[in-house]
Structure 1
Amino acid sequence: MQRLAGLAARRDLRSLVAGAQAWSSGSICSRDPAFRCQQRGRLFSGPGNPLSAEPGQRCSKRRFVFAGEKCRLFSSRAGAEEPPGSPGSQPHVSVVGIPDPLTWIRCRVITLLIELYFEVDINSAEFHRGVKQALVHVSSKMSRGRYHELKGVVTDEMREYVEEKCKPLTKAQRRQLAVKMEDIIFVLPEDISVVFDEYGRKFCFVVMRFWFLSSHEGPDDPEATKIFKVTSGEDGSPQEKLATAVYEFHGELKPGASPDWMVTTVWHWHWKMAE
């Protein structure tokens, strides 16, 4: 097991280094993990948003669908929703640590089993692009206090929780919740599970941790500084802070159908910092 953990750690480190270098050069890292959520939301269905690949492109065996509004919130079309980065103004990000290798191994094994038995590839670039766009969408609505516009994307229970957590924040602190696509450094699954209910239905829970840059006032997130270090740009602009967010995605696994993913857990470092 120690040898496996060491191999996984080295492989993960290479991914982190490659991801940080790609991010610093203006591209977005699309590799993948977060804490176990403390509550489970029930599945809410809304008008689906196809997270489909471009014609002739095969990102996964099935198309991913995120529940929500009628428009294509979580599209897989690169360049349409993802604004290009500006390499000249981005700070330098370096890798100083690695995620827990045992967690990486466990999630990797479960991901392979889900792909084998349900033909759902959670490790695909398509899925990672979708969850990043979910982070951008949800954080943007929170920053503007438009919680009602999260209906169909976030469960009703979690929408109420998000609104309650944002109440103590000042207007400036709430604006800092917004995450831009180009600010996301790294994404990794932290917990994956499949749950069977009494009716024989199968539900998949995927907990993702996001590492990103933020302009918030206060200290860096310790969970972020374990992995990354950021230095200010050469133009003398203020150094951006490192932060993390944890989102859980819940979808029913049906034979021959794509999961209709809903966000059942939302957590941002900004909330803990404001306590």
Structure 2
Amino acid sequence: MALPMLRGCHRFTSTFSFTRLLLNESIILNRSGKTQLPSLSVAAAVRPYSSDRGGQQQNQKVVVFGIPNPFIWVRTRIYYFLIRAYFDNDFRIEEFTEGAKQAFSHVSRLLSQCQFEALEGLVAKDLIGKLEEKLNLLPSSHKEALSADPEEIMYTTPGDVGIYYDDEGKKFVSILMRFWYLTSARIPEDTMEGTRVFQMDINGEGEPQAKRLLSAHYEFQREFTKGVPPDWTITRIEHSKLLD
């Protein structure tokens, strides 16, 4: 079964001759000030939160932005051009990014619920076994924090782009996607050192809810050999501070 969000847009074997593009980027988080995060991203995303205190409307915003490296920006566009020219004429990174975002939310929810059988066909088989071993050791609070609600995904951006050929002439493309999302899971402070916590009073009623900004890396791979189904499979999953 293919990832329904990426259908039209698999696994790779053991030996490759390959070209890999690595993006070195930076991310800045701004809420009444600036905080440099040890993660990667460019462009901008804004999520408004509003509250009404004392009859006055107040807006709180979490802003994720950065300054792209022009040279890296050009190189990534070359890779996207090569994918369209030699693998998939209909490939568009904007559509892929949106599909990857939906897939990330769906798979992260299945992970948090330990629904490993439901991951088959979406995640590489060997990776499912490794994830099951890791998740069995996680406390319930950490499992809850794995789940990324679509409305809480603050920013999504491509990372590595790879084009591979194996010894049999099979062709593969991999795209590493990076996600930043908010979670209200109650995670012990001492286990999440370095992450940023926000107090969100969304409805203007009651105590503000604490939300923590987390990041995750998911790698999507597809075989482009003639006659192979056009399916993307997740072959790498990392949740910073939770599931590395």
Q: Which TM class, normalised by the smaller chain length?
A: 0.5 to 0.7
Q: Deviations over 1:118-144 (max 9, x none)?
A: 21424132x222211211111111111
2:201 aligned partner: 233
More strand by share: 2
Equivalent residue, structure 1, for 2:79: 110
State whether residues 9 and 90 of structure 2, in contact with CA within 8 Å, keep that contact through their aligned partners in structure 1: no
Q: Distance in 1 between matches of 2:215 and 2:194?
A: 7
Amino acid at match of 1:124: E
Q: CA deviation at 1:259?
A: 2.8
Unaligned runs of 5+ in 2: 12-46, 52-58
SS of 2:114's partner is coil
> Is the contact made by 2:2 and 2:121 (CA closer than 8 Å) also made in structure 1?
no
CA, structure 1 residues 120+65, in 2 after alignment: closer, same or farther (shift >3 Å)?
Answer: closer
Q: 2:91 matched to which residue of 1?
A: 121
In terms of Rg, which structure is larger? Answer: 2
Any gaps of 5 or more consecutive residues in structure 1?
1-46, 53-62, 68-84
Instruction: Tell me, in whole angstroms, the C-alpha distance in 2 between the residues paired with 1:164 and 1:49.
Output: 23
Distance 1:145 1:124, change over 3 A: same
Residue 189 (str. 1) matches residue 189 (str. 2): no
Deviation digits for residues 159-189 of structure 1 (CA, Å, limit 9, x no counterpart): 0111122122112221221111111111111
CA-atom RMSD in angstroms: 3.3
User: Take 2:92 and 2:144, find their aligned partners in 1: how far apart are those partners?
Assistant: 31
Q: Whose helix proportion is higher, 1 or 2?
A: 1
The one-letter amino acid paired with 1:183 is E
Give 2:39's aligned residue. none
Provide TM-score, normalisation by structure 2.
Answer: 0.67
Equivalent positions of 1:138-157 (< 5 A) are 138-157=107-126
When the two structures are superposed, what TM-score results if normalisation uses the length of structure 1?
A: 0.60
2:214 to 243, 252, 260: 243
- Alignment partner, residue 260 of structure 1: 231
* Distance in 1 between residues matched to 2:91 and 2:218, nearest whole Å: 18
Contact 2:221–2:233 (Cα < 8 Å) also in 1: yes
Structure 1 contact 114–120 (Cα < 8 Å) conserved: no
Provide the rounded CA distance (Å) in 2 between the counterparts of 1:200 and 1:94: 45
Q: For 1:154, what is the secondary structure of its paired residue? A: coil
1:161 and 1:213, CA in 2 relative to 1: closer, same or farther beyond 3 A?
Answer: same
The percentage of aligned residue pairs carrying the same residue is: 30
Q: CA deviation at 1:206?
A: 0.7
Q: 1:58 aligns to what?
A: none
- Is the alpha carbon distance of 1:240 and 1:50 closer, same or farther for their aligned partners in structure 2, counting shifts above 3 Å? closer
Is the CA contact (8 Å cut-off) linking 2:223 and 2:231 kept in structure 1? Answer: yes
Separation (CA, whole Å) in 1 of partners of 2:209 and 2:5: 36
Q: What amino acid is the match of 1:136?
A: S
* Paired amino acid for 1:263: I
Q: What is the one-letter code of the residue matched to 2:126?
A: E
Deviation at 1:101, TM superposition (A): 5.5
SS at match of 1:145: coil
- Letter of the aligned partner of 1:156 in structure 2? K
**How far has the Cα of 1:105 moved from its partner?**
3.6
Counterparts of 1:38-49 in structure 2 under 5 Å?
A: 47-48=1-2
User: Aligned in 2, Cα 1:192/1:171: closer, same or farther, shift over 3 Å?
Assistant: same
Which of 41, 50, 64 is the aligned partner of 2:8? 64
